[in-house]
Amino acid sequence: MSAESLTLDKPRSPRRPAARRNNFELYSWLFMRLSGLALVVLVLGHLFIMNILDDGVHRINFAFVAGRWASPFWQFWDLAMLWLAQLHGGNGMRTIIEDYARKDTTRFWLKMLLYASIALILAVGTLVIFTFDPNIAG
């Protein structure tokens, strides 16, 4: 196997769209750094609490989740993690699509699919965090 076959292809899009007049890409670059920093705390904290602390994953059940979401602190933690991971991951995927889609129509439809999935997951996730009812018996 040649060394070349182990490397990642160069971005294949024949041209990048002309730079827009606003600073969207600058703020998007900054957002990736800042949300990345926040995610280190949010995601590693989440992993530690859910998988390592006390009995780790063995103590997670409906009552455990209900107990956590009774607190606005954990509701906010999970909401921040949902929004930041979704927007960070989505914006990262947008960059990849811009770099690698060869045709304008492919690029357009991949981005529409991405934006629709981001909107759906944000809407459903936010709805669950705010409307969660610990009274399972009804």
Question: Applying CB under 6 A, which of residues 13, 32, 87, 129 lies at the interface with ligand HEM?
Answer: 32
d(CA 98, CA 92): 10
Which residue, 70 or 96, is less far from ligand HEM as judged by CB?
96
Which residue, 29 or 132, is less far from ligand HEM as judged by CB?
29
The amino acid present at 70, given as its one-letter code, is A
Q: What is the 3-state secondary structure (H, E, C) of 44-87?
A: HHHHHHHHCCCCHHHHCCHHHHHHHHCCHHHHHHHHHHHHHHHH
125 binds ligand HEM, rule: CB under 6 A? no
Number of residues this chain uses to bind ligand HEM (CB under 6 A)? 13
Assess contact for 30 and 79: CB atoms under 8 A: no
Which residue, 92 or 125, is less far from ligand HEM as judged by CB?
92
28 binds ligand HEM, rule: CB under 6 A? no
Taking CA 9 as the corner, what is the angle to CA 111 and CA 107, rounded to the nearest 5 degrees? 15
Binding residues among 46-105 for ligand HEM as defined by CB under 6 A: 85, 88-89, 92-93, 95-96
Which residue, 63 or 119, is less far from ligand HEM as judged by CB?
119
Q: Compute the least distance from the CB of residue 8 to ligand HEM, in Å.
A: 10
Collect all residues with Cβ–Cβ distance below 8 Å to 78 and sequence separation of at least 6. Answer: 69, 129
Residues of this chain that interact with ligand HEM (CB under 6 A) are 32-33, 36, 39-40, 43, 85, 88-89, 92-93, 95-96
